[in-house]
Amino acid sequence: MSNCARGDMSGGPHIALFPNAGMGNRMPYLRLATILLGRRCRITLITPRPTITTAEAAAISSFLSTYPEVNQLELHLLPDNNGPDPAITDPHFFQFARISRSTHLIRPMLSSASPPLSAVISDLFAASQIAPILTDLHLPLYILFTTSVKFLPLIALLPKLLSDPSRLNPSSSDVNFPCLPPLPVQSIPPPLFNPGHVFTQMLATAFPAFQRAKAILMNTFEEFEKSTLTALNHDRIIEDLPPLLPIGPLRPYHKSRELTPKGDYKTWLESQPVDSVVYVCFGSKAPIGVAQIQELGKGLVGSGFRFLWALKTKISLDDEYNDKDQETKSEDVRELLGDSVWHENGRRGMVMSSWVDQDEVLANSSIGGFVSHCGWNSVTEAMWAGVPVLAWPHNGDQRVNAQVVEESGLGVWVKEWGMGSGNGLVNGEEIGEKIGEFMRDENLRERARKIGEEARKAVDAGGSSHETITKVLKSL
């Protein structure tokens, strides 16, 4: 364990941030860290070792070298003597479980922090483990929740739903919640219908963690999810739920140039006309099958619009950091997409099989629309950039988030489009038509632009999210 205090001693509260595995989870914590640094806080970042992808390790080291005033606490995870649980196929879940089992090691690190800590902001999964330690140390616990407010009742009420199988039934049309609109059953992540699934079991521990937190910080702003926030905060429809505090959208932080991924897409993007390019990215993983990738390629070409496509063909990001792999990968991608799509590469479109800097892409004035799987980071980045979303959710919380996108006016959602390969193939012609319609919708673009303005107002001095952070900091 290393506990190396560095840099400026700002005199504000000292806050430890404890994100979980995977950078999709970590990114909001890094963003919050930079916001709190700007509010004169001292920040300690707890980083579990080893990480599961080299991309995650690279992103952490890039962050720490850009913000050397952040103190790092390394939590060396206990070895797993039994080896990985064969029931766990996603490495992220394996890591969540390993972090949970190792959390007690944090206690001496937290109690000896210098200067003493004022609070810990933790991920939901780690929170149930860390809560008793914080009670002993008289430290307040906050949870930073990394998805939509609309998804939260499903987690908070999960133990109740699981105790009555008729309420969580895959053959019913909706799942009902007291005093909230029902969720269509297709929007429920399928593992939740299996009480024995490791994901379900982990989520079921979340409610006790919520109850022990002083507040749950939400990466959204008041106006964006107003009705659900009102139901949960003012109408108190879920008993014992601490206040939900919208403090977002957590804005992208400055990345040091030499550490951001390189790519010729940047030059290409710079030279495209305003609002002319549709950006396509389904997050950091590979949620769609080969046949759907091929249809999407046809659709992009058929839409008649310019496109930038961040194409992920594998779950691990490791190789994507490796420049020497580029050549082989280009060939693989060319073969996968076929010549009609490949022919456009560098002309009317760009297909990137390596990592793109999505914050930067969305900030570019040439981007006129974003075809997204609606991972919550992507949604908050679209709202921050004021770019309209064509929602194409696949799994997890994404369909619930897509509903939020639609209800807020940030985007549109073709509900019939399936959750990937198992659920029917959406053909290229249909995709092309929909993308064309989406890109021509100036009213939608205007609404998204207004949401971008509201998002910025919320986080600027005097805005609702800014003031909420001020109140939290004053209470510490």
Select 295 or 320, whichever has its Cβ closest to ligand UDP: 320
Provide, rounded to whole angstroms, the least separation between the CB of residue 254 and ligand UDP: 13
Select 310 or 459, whichever has its Cβ closest to ligand UDP: 310
| Residue 410 to residue 385: CA distance in whole angstroms | 11
Residue pointed to by tokens 């690190």: 109
Strand segments (E) across 270-380: 277-281, 306-310, 349-352, 367-372
Select 373 or 445, whichever has its Cβ closest to ligand UDP: 373
Provide, rounded to whole angstroms, the least separation between the CB of residue 363 and ligand UDP: 11
Provide, rounded to whole angstroms, the least separation between the CB of residue 201 and ligand UDP: 19
| Residue 104 to residue 106: CA distance in whole angstroms | 5
Select 118 or 292, whichever has its Cβ closest to ligand UDP: 292
Q: Which residues contact 284 (CB under 8 A, 6 or more apart)?
A: 22, 23, 24, 312, 317, 375
Q: Catalog residues that contact ligand UDP under the rule CB under 6 A.
A: 22-25, 27, 53, 55-56, 58-59, 92, 261, 281, 283-285, 310, 317, 355-358, 375-378, 381
| Residue 287 to residue 394: CA distance in whole angstroms | 7
Select 303 or 377, whichever has its Cβ closest to ligand UDP: 377
Select 285 or 399, whichever has its Cβ closest to ligand UDP: 285
Provide, rounded to whole angstroms, the least separation between the CB of residue 253 and ligand UDP: 10
Select 261 or 418, whichever has its Cβ closest to ligand UDP: 261
Provide, rounded to whole angstroms, the least separation between the CB of residue 365 and ligand UDP: 18
Provide, rounded to whole angstroms, the least separation between the CB of residue 270 and ligand UDP: 18
| Residue 303 to residue 435: CA distance in whole angstroms | 6
Q: Which of 58, 35, 41, 32 is nearest to 7 (CA)?
A: 41
CB 24 within 8 A of CB 377: yes
Provide, rounded to whole angstroms, the least separation between the CB of residue 447 and ligand UDP: 21
Q: Which of 229, 275, 228 is nearest to 444 (CA)?
A: 275
Provide, rounded to whole angstroms, the least separation between the CB of residue 276 and ligand UDP: 20
| Residue 52 to residue 64: CA distance in whole angstroms | 18
230 φ, ψ (degrees, to nearest 5): -65, -45
Structure tokens at 4: 């190396």
Select 133 or 382, whichever has its Cβ closest to ligand UDP: 382
Bridge partners, 308 (sequence order): 279, 350
Q: b vs e for 89-103, b when ≥16 Cβ sit within 10 Å of the residue's Cβ?
A: eeebbbbbbbbbebb
CB 305 within 8 A of CB 439: yes
**Residues shown for the chain:** 476
Structure tokens at 14: 């000292």
Provide, rounded to whole angstroms, the least separation between the CB of residue 12 and ligand UDP: 27
Select 58 or 448, whichever has its Cβ closest to ligand UDP: 58
